Structure 1
């Protein structure tokens, strides 16, 4: 299997000067070695297929696909192949909730009990302290991944909620971090009751359609309706083998229900970097990016720990600190798929990675990309060549870099796998 180059069509015009002479050199890739690293990493673990996209400002500057949609098949992955993005779905739920709050349609400080009265803890004093914002920031205080085992046993939410009256939070809401799927999904009830619209319809009408996310959908039926979809792959004795998609996490759309292509998620990052202000205005982005609760476990992640100086969770997004710069990040892992998206608000650079296997080969790709790219952005202020030939002014970044970032370490390639 080899890398299928999918560099965007704008490179054709970038190769011509203002008189139409095709003698202008192409821009150097933002990360010259990433395509090779990506294909080599997936090949070493025999991952059937994957795709990545690199975004700068309001452009997709690089997109490469690797392999096939299903092992032993011949149909290649491309930029429009649909993958399950698992917990990256939380970025959509958090963003939608903040959009609606900015419009005055809901209040992030409302108690969850106002919308889900059947949620009760063992000690009643905790019941009214849980706010909508705590759901979106994973700061409910409840032990991490509470009752995910029941999701995996295919329990609907109405059968899981009564189990919470057997436990108490570890801390008061807002005081400590505990990643959740069941509790996070309760934001759907809040949104539906406040707007009168279903969560799925609002994501489609307020996000997917305005951002031209034409391959995106929510739920199992949306996944199956896509002819260009990647199959789930599970590791077996002789490598990866395909299997039918497990529907259990689709019961929790806000937590893990979105399907999307690399092209969709690249558009999603462009909006989050401030270049679709008609959809995601600056106040919405500022609220999402505000750290809500510290996530010290992230500082111990093998491939991230040399890079991070601090880590928090915002509203539907992780907020990583790299020296004095911010990196917004989220990963997703569900049976048969892995997904990661990340972007730098300081330099308006974003990265999407999707693969159709539960491979740990994924673990080092994003950290490796940012270890290389952030120092380059700091020292070179890299600009794609097509901007240099435009008469129009450059888009204004949402934030301007102010101070230097140093990276006194080197990547160990063998540590990526």
Structure 2
């Protein structure tokens, strides 16, 4: 993904010197005392921030419907802006869980069926390999070998269409998982077409509001740019630039408080409008198994209790490579006794979301540096296990 950099830098030492934690109830911003949970979160994330020179981080937790947000460090080193409950982070590929929610919503509305072929919703794909690939295979990265990223030359809708028309699968559809932004990007794009509106509009005016998320955006409005954190790479401030299917694959900017609300909606959607509630639950259906991980729509799942070793294996860099999968026939219905998670990164940000519906516990970690995924997983797992013991 393309990036840009601007503004002068401050030293990491100065950033970490300001790394004092604050805790707020996610619902109303009422301060919470420096209790045992606050100390656990701080003791877990501060060493990680120091080791990987992370300027700022927001960590949100939920335990049986009660949530707290803990803020650390700086959203911008240039002017020493602290991370607060209003800070917007790029969440990278965690955005795919929202894309999956939109597609599941379209299915619940009867606008699409996941067994439909991709070319059915974009006539320009007729006669291409997409004639034989289902929407489900696009949404689970099992289309047959679509790459992680588009080639650099694919910058317009016409070039996107030409790319897909020329693409030839390496594997039979539904036999291998190859993690791919073009794959799930097309999945979300076609789902939006089925509903007759642009993807960004549907997300910002239907899905986010339907979930009760008031501080989540694809396009950050000018009035909120002051809350939009800078990511950092090699000490330089950066933010993600537009790219093909960026909205669908890695485009959401949000707060930790909104993300923990999303987690709670995934564990208990009773307050959601019924169609959206069914759509959210539907993303937890398991379709393919690879190693210890079961691939849902956007989300990735593990039998609970889950070992840290299995979680690290399922989130390892090697999972970006093609992996033979076992198709679940019939698909695995949504279950409570699973751990559900998703990582996300842009060049300047790193995110991780994990929750266990049966235990009604969850953790959100948002950072303005792309720190190593294993470190995010270990830290969140430590906090999650502490929540489970409460």
Please report the TM-score for the alignment, with normalisation by the length of structure 2: 0.78
Q: Secondary structure in 2 aligned to 1:332?
A: strand
Distance 1:311 1:144 in 2: 20
Shift of 1:148: 3.2
5+ residue gaps, structure 2, are: 1-17, 307-336
Distance 1:364 1:167 in 2: 36
Distance 2:301 2:283 in 1: 9
CA RMSD for the aligned pairs?
3.0
Deviation per residue, 1:25-44 (Å, 9 max, x gap): 99752x85232121221022
- Which residues in structure 2 correspond to 1:130-145 (within 5 Å)? 130-145=133-148
Matched, 1:313 2:295: yes
Matched, 1:51 2:58: yes
Structure-2 residue corresponding to 1:366: 377
1:288 aligned to which of 257, 278, 283:
283
Matched, 1:42 2:41: no
- Check 1:167–1:197 CA distance in 2 against 1; reply closer, same or farther (3 A cut): closer
Distance 1:120 1:335 in 2: 35
- Which residues in structure 2 correspond to 1:201-220 (within 5 Å)? 201-219=201-219
| Rg larger in structure | 1
Deviates more, 1:201-210 or 1:174-183: 201-210
1:33 aligned to which of 31, 34, 40:
40
Shift of 1:351: 1.0
Q: Secondary structure in 2 aligned to 1:363?
A: helix
Shift of 1:154: 6.7
- Which residues in structure 2 correspond to 1:5-404 (within 5 Å)? 5-8=22-25, 28-29=36-37, 33-60=40-67, 62-119=68-125, 126-145=129-148, 147-150=149-152, 155-219=155-219, 222=221, 225-235=224-234, 240-243=235-238, 245-249=239-243, 251-279=245-273, 283-296=278-291, 310-323=292-305, 325-360=337-372, 363-371=374-382, 373-374=384-385, 377=388, 380=389, 382=390
5+ residue gaps, structure 1, are: 16-24, 297-309, 383-417
Shift of 1:10: 8.4
Distance 2:28 2:257 in 1: 17
Please report the TM-score for the alignment, with normalisation by the length of structure 1: 0.73
Distance 2:365 2:211 in 1: 19
Distance 1:368 1:352 in 2: 11
Q: Secondary structure in 2 aligned to 1:187?
A: helix
Distance 2:26 2:285 in 1: 36
Q: Secondary structure in 2 aligned to 1:106?
A: coil
Q: Secondary structure in 1 aligned to 2:227?
A: coil
Q: Secondary structure in 1 aligned to 2:176?
A: coil
The size of the alignment, in residue pairs, is: 342
Distance 2:28 2:94 in 1: 30
